[in-house]
Structure 1
Amino acid sequence: MDLSGKVAVVTGSGRGLGLAYARSLAASGAAVVVNDVDANAATAAVEQITADGGRAVAEVVPVGSTEAADALVSRAVDSWGRLDAIVTNAGVLRDKVLWKMSDDDFDTVVQVHLRGTFTCVRAAVERMREQGEGGRVIVAGSPAGQRGNFGQTNYAAAKAGIAAMVRTWALELARAGITANAVIPVAATAMTKTIAAFAPHVEALELEGTAFPDSLRKGEGFGTPEDAAGLVAFLASDASAGITGQCIGVGGDKLALWSHPQEVAVAYTDGGWSADAVAAAWPNVFARSEQTYGIPAPQL
């Protein structure tokens, strides 16, 4: 995959998935703006990329505000004169069940994930439209945003909103030749290593370099951050020009295309639906089509 001459911004790329994305983009020839709130992590990421022969600079700023988004775009343009791709990966977690989740828990997650995606993409798109040569918007979704997840009201809502924004942006940006897609990764990161079923495997990988078994890589579609990075490089490339508005899952040995919400059962009644009419129709027409919810528990 040749990304020579292209410039990308990757938010939250000091470590984990974001670092894997940045390294993959740079290895394919793109110049990369590494972003993180941790200056040491951002600097180390830049050093790692440049040591491998890539081009990278750091912009240390907390994602969320318009000012932060503008700074990231300016860093790309000031360094290399253009911007071709934005990858919004920055995120935080504040997991609690609904009745224990504070306003701050909710607002912090929404600020970084949902608002941060919005502000960064808006700033990037403004530059891409000025250039008039198209571009790539690649945002981070989550299985939690597709199906919901216990204790993640804030995170699931933000990720569901991101998927909806991608579908909207695909419509709005098509004329400018800018694609918009969401990556739905499942990988061993600080966020997922707390899951009991995955923890011993992640620990074995970190301490001993033990590869994940097929029950994880294929059965659960769970792998390393590097396993998800090729998809991002592809979506940043000219080869993906015809793909937009999609939510694409990746993890381990698995690549998957998520469906969009759609009607699965429909009925009509003359004069509209009273409460009694709904009650009468539900068991026979709708009950068999009720949808599952929540991320399925790992089957290991």
Structure 2
Amino acid sequence: MDLTGKVAVVTGSGRGLGLAYARALSAAGASVVVNDVDRQAVEAAVESTESAGGKAFGVTAAVGTAEAAEELVSAAVEHFGRLDVLVTNAGILRDKVLWKMTDDDFDDVIRVHLRGTFTCARAAAVRMREQGRGGRIVLIGSPAGQRGNFGQTNYAAAKAGIAAMARTWALELARSHITVNAVVPVAATEMTKTIPVFAPFIEEAERTGAPLPDWMRRQEGLGTMEDAAGLVTFLASDASAAVTGQAIGIGGDRLALWAHPQEKKVALREGGWSAEDIAAAWSDGVGARPETFGIPAPQPPAGD
């Protein structure tokens, strides 16, 4: 995939998945603005990203405010002349069950993930529309936003909102030839290392360099951070010009298209539905096959 001449901004790219995305874009020929709240992480990310092949510039800023978003877009334009690609990866975790989650726990995650995605995408859209040559906006979602996850009220809500933003902005920006998609990655990160069934396999892979077992890469769709980067590169490229408004999963050996919410079953009753009517018809009608919720527990093969 050739991104020569393209300019990208990747938020939250000082380490982890964000850095993997920045390096993959650089390896394809793009110039990349990397970003983190930690100056040392930014400096290391610039060096790492440039070593992959392209040019890089670092911006130390906390994503969430309009000012930070404008700084990132301005950096792309001032140092590389334009902006073609935005990847909104910045995020934090403040996991707690509902009754223990504080206002600050909720607000901090929403500010970085949801408001940060909004402010950065808005600034990027303004610039891309002014340039008049289209563009690519890649929003980073999560399985938690698609299905919910225990202890992640704030994170799941933000990621669900991000998927909705992708669908909305795909409509609004279509005439400007700007595509918007949500990536739903699963990878061996610090967060997935906390899952007991995954931890020993990830630690062994990091220690020896051996690949993760097939059941993790195929059944669970969990691989390295680099495994998730190819999708971001594709969505940043001209090859994805017809792909927009989608939520696309990636991880390990799996590539998946997530379904959008839609009516599953409909019942009609002349005159409408009273509470008693619904109770009488629910179990054998619309509610006969309720939807599942939550991320399914990993299922390692027997003996692992």
Q: Same fold (TM over 0.5)?
A: yes
Deviations 1:173-206 (A, max 9, x none): 0000000000000001122211111111111122
**What does residue 229 of structure 1 align with?**
229
Q: Which shows bigger deviation, 200-209 or 240-249?
A: 200-209
Whether the 8 Å contact between 2:28 and 2:53 is mirrored in structure 1 is: no
Q: Percent identity?
A: 69
In the alignment, is the contact (CA less than 8 A) between 2:186 and 2:222 conserved in 1?
yes
Question: 1:88-137 CA deviation, whole Å, 9 max, x = no partner?
Answer: 00110000000000000000000000000000000000000000000001
SS at 1:200 equivalent: helix
> Which residue of structure 2 lines up, in the alignment, with residue 17 of structure 1?
17
**Displacement of 1:51:** 2.6
Residue 219 of structure 1 corresponds to 219
Letter in 2 for 1:174: A
Please say which of residues 169-178 and 36-45 is displaced more in the overlay: 36-45
- Alignment correspondent of 2:31: 31
CA contact (8 A) 1:35 1:59 kept: yes
Question: Which secondary structure state, in structure 2, belongs to the residue aligned with residue 160 of structure 1?
Answer: helix
8 Å CA contact 1:138–1:235 kept in 2: the answer is: yes
Aligned to 2:294: 294
Residue range with higher mean Cα deviation, 141-150 or 284-293: 284-293
Deviation, 1:289, is: 2.4
How many pairs align?
Answer: 300
Q: Which letter maps to 1:51?
A: S
Shifted more, 184-193 versus 120-129: the winner is 184-193
The answer for the alignment partner of 1:161 in structure 2 is: 161
After TM superposition, give the deviation of residue 283 of structure 1 in Å: 1.1
Post-superposition offset of 1:219: 1.0
Letter in 1 for 2:203: E
Q: Per the alignment, in what secondary structure is the counterpart of residue 283 of structure 1?
A: coil
Listed as ranges, the matches of 1:184-203 within 5 Å are 184-203=184-203
Instruction: Tell me the equivalent position of 1:269.
Output: 269
Aligned to 2:104: 104
Asked if structure 2 preserves the Cα contact closer than 8 Å seen for 1:140 and 1:183, the reply is yes
SS of equivalent residue, structure 2 residue 296: coil
Q: CA deviation at 1:210?
A: 2.4
Paired residue for 1:210?
210
Kept in 2: contact 1:264–1:289 (CA 8 A): no
- 1:80 equivalent to 2:80? Answer yes
Give the stretch that moved more between structures: 198-207 or 76-85.
198-207
Task: State the partner residue of 1:129.
Answer: 129
Aligned to 1:138, the other structure's residue is in SS state strand
User: Any idea what SS the aligned residue of 1:175 has?
Assistant: helix
Letter in structure 2 aligned against 1:239: A
3-state SS, counterpart of residue 288 of structure 2: helix
> Cα RMSD between the aligned structures?
0.8
Look up the equivalent residue of 1:13 and give its one-letter code: S
| 1:97 maps to amino acid | V
Normalising by structure 2, we get a TM-score of 0.97
What SS class does the counterpart of residue 265 from structure 1 fall into? coil
Query: What one-letter code is carried by the residue in structure 1 that aligns with 2:285?
Result: V
Structure 2 matches for 1:132-143, cutoff 5 A? 132-143=132-143
Q: Deviating runs (4+, > 3 A) in structure 1?
A: none
Structure 2 alignment gaps of length 5 or more: none
The answer on whether the counterparts of 1:265 and 1:289 sit within 8 Å (CA) in structure 2 is no
Partner of 2:117: 117
Per-residue CA shift, 1:267-292, capped at 9, x if unaligned?
11111110001101101112322100
Tell me what 2:50 maps to: 50
- Distance of 1:60 and 1:268 partners within structure 2: 56
Give 1:246 shift: 0.1
Whether the aligned pair in 2 keeps the contact of 1:46 and 1:56 (CA below 8 Å) is: yes
SS of 1:193's equivalent? Answer: helix
Distance (Å, rounded) in 1 between the aligned partners of 2:39 and 2:271: 63
Q: What are structure 1's unaligned runs of at least 5 residues?
A: none
1:282 aligns with 2:279: no
